Amino acid sequence: MKPTETLPNDLLADINIYPVGFLADWQHFVHNPDRKDARRRFRYALRYPLRQARARNWRAVKNYFNGYLAEHAHLGTRCGTGWTRGRAYRDLARHLNSDPRSAA
């Protein structure tokens, strides 16, 4: 990790990293003990990106495949995204380090 992509320890406690879009739907499908409900909910969730693709709303389709989002609870900057938790954290750190409003 580059030195410019790390955050001070006082900012780390306020960072939330969570799955969104396809990854959240997939994790629910894999970890739900009720298989029938899991399949139904997963099929229903996949309707959204298909509907957006038919409408040629490619930004919504791309955002559905973000993976993880990392966001700071108090600073009003952009979110970090990535297919892994670490990549989302590094992307958020890059945004916080480039933002003149942040305390980092």
Q: Using CA of residue 42, residue 60, residue 98, residue 91, what is the dihedral sign?
A: positive
pLDDT at residue 79 in the model: 83
- Tell me the two tokens of residue 39: 């399949």
Q: Which residues pair with 20 in a beta bridge?
A: 67
Closest C-alpha to 98, from 2, 5, 1 = 5
E strands, 21-79, in order: 67-72
Q: What is the pLDDT of residue 75?
A: 73
- Spacing of C-alpha 21 from chain mean position: 8
pLDDT at 74: 77
Low-confidence ranges of the chain (pLDDT < 50): 1, 3-4, 104
Look at residue 53 in the predicted model and tell me its pLDDT.
96
Give the whole-angstrom CA distance, residue 68 versus residue 35.
24
